[in-house]
Chain A
Amino acid sequence: MQHHQGAHADAALRIDEASGRFQVARSNYTDPSLHAAEMEAIFAKCWLFVGHESELPKPNDFVTRRVAGRPVIYLRDREGKVRCLLNVCPHRGAQVCRQKKGSAKLFSCIYHGWAFENSGRNINIAESETYHEQFNAPGSNAQLNDLVPVPRFESYRGLWFLNFDPGAVSLHDYLGNAREYIDIVMDQAELGMQVVGEMQEYSARANWKLLAENSTDILHVTTLHPTYLDLVKTNSAGTMVRGKVMGKSIDLGNGHAVVEREASYGRPIAKWMPMWGEEARVEIEAIYAKLVGRYGKERADRMSTCARNLLIFPNLVINDIMSVTLRTFQPTAVDYMEVSVWAIAPGEEFGKPALSRRLTNFLEFLGPGGFATPDDIEALESCQRAFAAHREAPWNDLSKGLGRKPDATDELPQRVFWLQWRDRLMQRAG
């Protein structure tokens, strides 16, 4: 099986530096056997985003979700510790929590009544007197009666990740050079970034790698999103018109990549646009002045006027664009993925007009009802439909910018993703 995966992955990319060509086999998006191989080589080995710490403000708060297909309970236990437990009863396997979110000190299985503290510790076994005396005795294998935690669970700047590989490198090392770009997003908040309301949940009838490619793809904006650009032009009274995108694409290692460039739209931190009015101009100038005070002019300018699209391999996107969004996507089949999206905002904006501006900016572009994201979904699904012709038209092209210092609309982030994907499937990556 290992050999087969490797052989498959070797044929997955065709790279000819002499003619500046980088090609990806379209069967990579359509071969059902690859889904299982990716689940093993990537989703069981890489750090995967679970949630933001602000989703669990109080002890006993929990949310349930699926990460790489596994049902998990992401919770804050009664002592305030954030945990991630597999949502499967150690007895006969039912989900011990079937609510999407809530507050609970314990979880009780509906099937036979086994019950657990939110630390995962077993506190009830049905008809326990009928079991062997050693079955649940301290010092025996009583922990087998507890809920199973995910093997690794670590956080960085409020972002919680799990890893199903007990031997994985630390999250800190895995993120590596990407930490600088997470920092520049999180540092925008004085009182910490917090999730605004609830996550949006949608889907796409497309292979998950298409969304990984799309999320750091700036080249498509002009062709795929003209209706959004029209809206920005209207909102800015004609002052914000997309010209050449000034910026760069950066390989951050481990499959992570970022595109950082001048934003061509208003940003809540801290780039004013006319539709927001004069009051907002004053507020945004104050936000900017504070950023300069905290970080100096150069970093404050970078925070304010630049947008960033960051992909953390394999499936976390942090886009600090017209608003800040976290996006993760879970493949459930080779041609279908579930997408979850959060809006995050600085804590100090809550209850103020700044938050409303941020949400308006978000919805103008992002989400399944935005002026842009539905067109992305359409493009991804269009690719997936067309890839049915992969036998006769086998290759996608990702050559743009190969062999030069890549700018913001080059296809470097996509190449970085695919090289990591290949190395992971061939088990060459650490």
Chain B
Amino acid sequence: MSLLAALTRPEAEDFLILEASLLNEWKLEAWRALFTEECRYLVPNTNGDPYASPESSLYLIADDGHHLTERVKRLNKKTAHAEYPRSRTRRLISNVRFLERGKAMVKVESSFITYRSAQGVTDTFFGRHEHCLVEQDGGLRIAEKRTILDMEALRPQGRLSIIV
């Protein structure tokens, strides 16, 4: 049986917990390696349809594989001023369930709360992730991660300088 077909809900949850821990620990290259080369990392606008096409709608983040690689490079630089000195973050993942179970792809939904603390201020981000997972080289990879924020606006957080 293929990895995807045999994937249980707790295993999917373990994968998301691993992903969150890499982000909490700022191991961003290892985090990037969880994705396929030609992946998408999407954060739709807090206004409008979160499934509108990023080709014709303004998103907050709409990275393809190239831009995600570049984003990771940026966040590892001291000149990424919004994140240097690095913020402290903690990601809580919950309510994990399958939305779709296809042969080539499974879609997993999770709820999240992410705390970010920096420069005397703590901000909270909350919403849901939708991960499209595929199998590659005998392991799970993220082909698309869509992070749908539940906040009405990025206020008072003001920025999405971290990967929430």
Contact = CB atoms under 8 A, between A and B. Distances in A.
Contacts of A336: 156
B44 to A, nearest CB: 9
Given A197-B45, A200-B46, A338-B155, 10 more contacts: A199-B45, A201-B155, A205-B121, A224-B81, A226-B77, A230-B73, A343-B58, A368-B157, A369-B160, A371-B70
Given A199-B47, A377-B82, A368 B156 contact: no
Contacts of B115: none
Interface stretch (B10-18, B21-29, B31-39, B49-57): B49-57
B60 A368 contact: yes
A364 B68 CA distance: 11
B155 A231 contact: no
8 contacts: A198-B58, A201-B152, A205-B156, A355-B55, A359-B55, A359-B58, A362-B58, A374-B82
B59 interface: yes
Contacts of A371: 70-71, 74
A373 B47 CA distance: 19
B153 interface: yes
A378 interface: yes
Interface in A78-119: 100
Tell me the dominant secondary structure on chain B's binding face.
loop
Given A202-B153, A374-B82, A378-B81, A197 B52 contact: yes
B60 A369 contact: yes
A240 B37 CA distance: 25
Given A351-B56, A369-B43, A204 B71 contact: no
Contacts of A381: 119, 158
Interface string B127-145: 0000000000000000000
Contacts of A230: 73-74, 77
Contacts of B46: 200-201
Contact of A363 (B62, B73, B80): B62
A349 to B, nearest CB: 10
A363 B59 contact: yes
B9 interface: no
A226 B77 CA distance: 10
**Which of A350, A363, A377 is the most central at the interface, judged by chain B CB atoms within 10 Å of its CB?**
A363
B94 interface: no
Contact of B47 (A198, A364, A379): A198
A369 B68 CA distance: 12
| Interface bin, chain B | 35 or more
Contact of A196 (B47, B56, B67, B157): B56
A203 B156 CA distance: 6
Interface in A344-403: 350-351, 355-356, 359-360, 362-364, 367-369, 371, 373-375, 377-379, 381-382, 385
Interface of A: 100, 196-205, 224, 226-227, 230-231, 234, 336, 338-339, 342-343, 350-351, 355-356, 359-360, 362-364, 367-369, 371, 373-375, 377-379, 381-382, 385
B1 to A, nearest CB: 39
A189 to B, nearest CB: 16
B69 to A, nearest CB: 9
B56 A355 contact: yes
B52 to A, nearest CB: 6
Contacts of A227: 73-74, 77, 79-80
Contacts of A203: 153-158
B93 interface: no
A234 B158 contact: no
B113 interface: no
Given A205-B158, A373-B159, A200 B82 contact: no
Contact of A374 (B56, B59, B160): B160
A230 B71 CA distance: 11
A187 B56 CA distance: 21
A226 B82 CA distance: 12
Contacts of A367: 58, 60
A355 B59 CA distance: 13
A355 B57 CA distance: 9
A368 B160 CA distance: 5
A362 B59 CA distance: 10
**Which of A198, A203, A336, A356 is the most central at the interface, judged by chain B CB atoms within 10 Å of its CB?**
A198
A317 B22 CA distance: 38
Contacts of A355: 55-56
Contacts of A373: 159
B61 to A, nearest CB: 4
**Which of B48, B55, B83, B152 is the most central at the interface, judged by chain A CB atoms within 10 Å of its CB?**
B55
A360 B56 CA distance: 10
B161 interface: yes
A351 B55 CA distance: 9
A343 B160 CA distance: 18
Nearest 9 CB-CB pairs, A to B? A197-B57, A198-B47, A201-B153, A374-B82, A198-B48, A369-B61, A369-B160, A202-B154, A374-B161
A367 B43 CA distance: 12
Contact of B154 (A368, A375, A385): A368
A223 to B, nearest CB: 9
A201 B47 contact: yes
